[in-house]
Amino acid sequence: MLRSPLSLLGEHRWSAAAVVLCLGAALWILAALVTAGLQTRAAVEGWWELYTPAVYLEADVTETAMGALKTELEGWPQVRSVALEDREAAMTRLVEEIGAEEVEALGITTDLMPAVLLVEPVLWYPGEAETLSRLQALEVRPEVVTVDVPSPQAVAWVNRGRAVVLGPAVIALLLWIGALGGLAVFLRRLQESERRENHLLEVFGASAMALRRPTIWRGAVLGFCAGAVAGGLFLPWSLSLDTFVAGFAAEGAMSAVSSALISAALPVIGLSCGTLVGWAGARPRQVSEVPRMKGLLGWERE
């Protein structure tokens, strides 16, 4: 190249600025929705843990029967883990919750305490309702006293939470891909305006990589600038959102350090994506072909 690859960006500065702003906004929306989705997910998981299904077992059930039921539940694909809380553990928890004097006054002894299987379902597994009804059906077994499962409303909230996480994130991802497409078109336009120069450079022996390099550079610079714009928008937004989220769901709040790290990562993401688009879009396009003679140049003259 006779001049810096960035000089062409200077000549098309308004178009370049528009591309950077669109790309930056799309990246910011993507980052905002993904982090908001992750925060929502963390909050929903926090709430979900309050509703861990529990299977209460008869007082006279043997350890072998408890072990067999635990193993059976662990074999269900929808179940992440099963914890056995034996009578001693249940007694200890009761003492912690209501106090030893109260327990003694009520005449509750360890023998009267039920053993409990605490079931942790796989969250976000399709068909939580089905899992819960399967657990509920365990009540018919002789060794089971009762099964405590979350209410249908809780399950419905989990499903809504999932939609909140996935839906906008998918839309934002499509928006980002569209913005990258816009970048690719802009880079291609710039490259086509240099077709004559590329043709000459190729005729005199420039390598394919040397011809691609300016477009890769431009993609990297535009991607980095867009990432910087997105990072600049993301940090204040994230900090204000955290203050709001921490008010009602501590699990969902993100630390200021995490927000800063994500903001710092956005220019790197923009740089990487811009470089990739530049690399992919820098291929030559042959415009003519002489029949019966294979062209050796990628950058034919128009």
Q: Which two tokens stand for residue 243?
A: 């203050």
Residues across the chain: 302
Smaller CB separation from other proteins, 11 or 104: 11
Cα–Cα distance, 300 to 195 (Å, whole number): 8
Buried b / exposed e across 176-191, counting CB within 10 Å, b at 16+?
beebbeebbebbbebb
Buried-exposed string 118-155: b where 16+ CB fall within 10 A, e elsewhere: ebebebbeeebeebbebbeebeeeebbbebebbeeebb
Tokens of 56: 């209460």
Closer CB to other proteins, 194 or 242, in the complex: 194
Which residue's CB is nearer to other proteins, number 202 or number 242?
A: 202
For the bound state, the minimum distance from the C-beta of residue 219 to other proteins, rounded and expressed in Å, comes to 22
Rounded CA-CA distance 4/1 in Å is 7
For other proteins, the closer of residues 189 and 301 by Cβ is 301
Between 205 and 247, name the residue whose CB sits nearer to other proteins. 205
Comparing CA positions, the residue from 24, 14, 22, 9 lying closest to residue 182 is 22
| Least CB distance to other proteins at residue 9 (A) | 17
Q: At what angle do helices 152-193 and 13-49 cross, to 10 degrees?
A: 160
**For residues 257 and 293, which CB has a smaller minimum distance to other proteins in the complex?**
293
Contacting residues toward other proteins, per CB under 8 A: 1-2, 196-197, 199-208, 210, 290-297, 301
Q: Residue 12 Cβ, how far from other proteins at the closest point, in Å?
A: 15
Q: Which is nearer to other proteins, 89 or 201 (CB)?
A: 201
Structure tokens at 200: 């000459």
CB of 297 to other proteins, least distance (A): 6
Closer CB to other proteins, 250 or 297, in the complex: 297
Helix (H, G, I), strand (E, B) or coil at 220: helix
Distances (CA, A) of 2 to 13, 102, 198: 20, 89, 11
Q: φ, ψ for residue 287 (rounded to 5)? A: -110, -15
CB of 257 to other proteins, least distance (A): 47
Reported as type and span, the H/E element at residue 96 is: helix 87-98
Three-state secondary structure call for residue 165: helix
For residue 42, CA distances in Å to 49, 127, 239, 249, 253 come to 11, 19, 17, 9, 9
CB of 216 to other proteins, least distance (A): 17
Residue 83 · residue 115 · CB < 8 Å: no
Q: How far is the CB of 277 from other proteins (least distance, A)?
A: 22
